[in-house]
């Protein structure tokens, strides 16, 4: 398991990409974090390429969200160098088994996406809105949020095809079992849930105790789903 240098929180999408490239170069290809990082890097590069092309109605908001979002991942990776109980609970399943050779790369990639989208994204969305004095349902935020789904469709399809072409599925029962395991997990469905979660967090942010209950429940639920995706074959 490779060591990932820790850095300060990034402040631009260019810094996000550079940090992901640093992570990629620091880890062996089979590392579970590296498997997720490759997919995430591809999507982030696609988003960065669209920010200046008129693809998003509010590119400044989308870059701020992307940066805030990525920093949750980077913080979890930085925490991985310390005691395991310091790692955010939602990230513990992936980081805890990242060197298990019985787990396929696609399982690592999708488990990472599950954690990052279902847990980190709604929190990042609420934080970004608070920082910019706006709200999740204001302006074009939701429409721009949904535009990312197109980019994620391509990334998800690419990784699934790569997995299917990389193993002899006709004779590999374990691979078939993995395909069955992940068949019903969808990035876009996860993002729909993440938006609803963000709205719930936004509406409860000033209600004493409710936000903490939602956050704790969210972390446990996301961790449970990641453990299911990371079943060793």
Query: What span, in angstroms and rounded, lies between the C-alpha atoms of 115 and 108?
Result: 11
> What was the pLDDT predicted at 11?
95
Which has more pLDDT, 150 or 130? 130
Q: Helices (DSSP H) in the chain: which residue ranges? A: 13-26, 32-51, 59-79, 92-96, 105-115, 121-131, 141-166, 173-182, 187-204, 210-229
Phi-psi region of 18 (alpha: psi -120 to 50; beta: other; left: phi over 0): alpha
pTM for this prediction: 0.90
Which has more pLDDT, 179 or 87? 87
The average pLDDT across 87-108 equals 94
What are the sequence ranges of the domains in the chain? Answer: 13-229
Query: What span, in angstroms and rounded, lies between the C-alpha atoms of 173 and 70?
Result: 36
Candidate from 94-98, 170-174, 213-217, 229-233 with smallest mean pLDDT = 170-174
> What is the tens place of the pLDDT at every residue in 38-70?
989 989 999 999 998 999 999 999 999 999 999
Backbone angles phi, psi at 115, to 5 degrees: -65, -50
3-state class (DSSP) for residue 27: coil
> What is the tens place of the pLDDT at every residue in 147-174?
998 888 777 777 667 666 655 454 565 6
- Per-residue pLDDT band for 1 (boundaries 50, 70, 90) equals very low
Q: Would you tell me the crossing angle of helices 105-115 and 187-204 to the nearest 10 degrees? A: 20
The average pLDDT across 195-199 equals 96
Query: What span, in angstroms and rounded, lies between the C-alpha atoms of 159 and 39?
Result: 8
Q: How far, in whole angstroms, is CA 142 from its chain's centroid?
A: 18
Cβ-count burial 39-74 (b if 16+ within 10 Å, e if not): bbbbbbbbbbebeeeebbebbebbbbbbbbbbbbbb
């Amino acid at each position: 398991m490779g060591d990932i240098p820790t850095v300060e929180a990034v402040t631009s999408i260019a810094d996000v990409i550079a940090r992901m490239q640093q992570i990629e170069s620091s880890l062996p290809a089979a590392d579970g974090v590296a498997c997720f990082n490759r997919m995430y890097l591809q999507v982030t590069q696609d988003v960065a390429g669209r920010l200046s092309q008129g693809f998003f109605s509010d590119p400044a908001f989308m870059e701020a969200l992307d940066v805030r979002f990525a920093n949750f991942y980077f913080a979890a990776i930085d925490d991985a160098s310390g005691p395991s109980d310091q790692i955010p609970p939602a990230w513990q399943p992936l980081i805890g088994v990242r060197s298990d050779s019985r787990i396929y790369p696609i399982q690592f990639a999708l488990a990472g996406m599950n954690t990052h989208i279902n847990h980190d994204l709604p929190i990042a969305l609420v934080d970004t809105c608070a920082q910019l004095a706006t709200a999740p349902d204001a302006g074009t935020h939701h429409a721009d949020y949904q535009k990312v789904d197109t980019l994620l469709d391509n990334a998800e399809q690419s990784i699934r095809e790569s997995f299917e072409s990389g193993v002899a599925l006709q004779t590999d029962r374990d691979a078939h079992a993995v395909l069955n395991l992940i068949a019903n997990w969808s990035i876009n469905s996860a993002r729909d849930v993440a938006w609803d979660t963000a709205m719930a967090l936004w509406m409860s942010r000033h209600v004493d105790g409710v936000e903490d209950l939602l956050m704790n429940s969210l972390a446990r639920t996301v961790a449970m789903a990641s453990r299911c995706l990371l079943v060793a074959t």
